[in-house]
């Protein structure tokens, strides 16, 4: 089982933001810089393209023994034997995902309030993605979560909490003392000209939070 993992620096991909030519190159540079988990999230990709991307990325994450999570697409996760699936409030229910992927895989759930958190706990999620903490161009429809609500969520569960939404070198320092387990980052890694360097700098800041 791959249940005990380091969520501290959690890359969420978005190939339309990349400056690199291939997604797998960006992922490799991020891992070399210190990323501990990779979530493949490609909302605009069709099934064939997503599968091809996932297979290429899986070769990289497998080589570096970095957990690979697939966003939404349980079929893709099963096809490539990914380490888990991350679902939102409008995706397949956790119980259904669990039946499909089995007990040994990770399931992450996006939550934005205490009520959604309590449901995720009841449904036996493995970790929570809490956000959006700040407004972000990568997911414009996401509800913004207050730090007060984050505190309530933290007090309600011992599950790992990964915050997401507008996380960068400046904003992540605002989370000191909130007991979060990780930072999910998109553009502050994937959109940088030197991904490895940008990730390394973020890693240093994460370690102080």
* Residues recognised as catalytic: 41, 110, 139
The dihedral formed by the CA atoms of 158, 119, 116 and 68, expressed in degrees to the nearest 10 = 60
Beta carbons of 185 and 11 less than 8 angstroms apart: yes
Closest CA to 13 of 36, 43, 46: 43
Peptide bond into 132 cis (omega under 30): yes
d(C-alpha 205, C-alpha 191), whole Å: 19
């Amino acid at each position: 089982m791959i249940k005990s993992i380091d969520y501290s620096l959690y890359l969420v991909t978005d190939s339309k933001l990349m400056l690199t030519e291939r997604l797998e190159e960006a992922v490799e540079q991020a891992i070399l810089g210190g990323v501990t988990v990779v979530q493949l999230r490609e909302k605009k990709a069709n099934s064939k393209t997503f599968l091809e991307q996932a297979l290429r990325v899986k070769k990289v994450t497998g080589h570096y023994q970095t957990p690979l999570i697939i966003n939404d697409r349980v079929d893709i996760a099963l096809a490539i034997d990914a380490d888990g699936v991350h679902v939102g409030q409008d995706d397949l229910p956790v119980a259904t995902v669990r039946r499909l992927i089995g007990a040994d895989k990770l399931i992450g759930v996006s939550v934005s309030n205490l009520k959604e958190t309590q449901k995720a706990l009841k449904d036996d999620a493995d970790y929570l993605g809490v956000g959006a903490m700040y407004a972000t161009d990568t997911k414009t429809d996401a509800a913004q979560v207050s730090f007060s609500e984050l505190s309530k969520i933290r007090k309600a569960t011992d599950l790992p909490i990964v915050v997401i939404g507008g996380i960068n070198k400046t904003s992540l320092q605002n989370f000191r003392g909130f007991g979060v387990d990780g930072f999910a980052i998109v553009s502050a890694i994937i959109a940088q000209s030197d991904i490895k360097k940008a990730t390394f700098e973020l890693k240093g800041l994460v370690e102080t939070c």
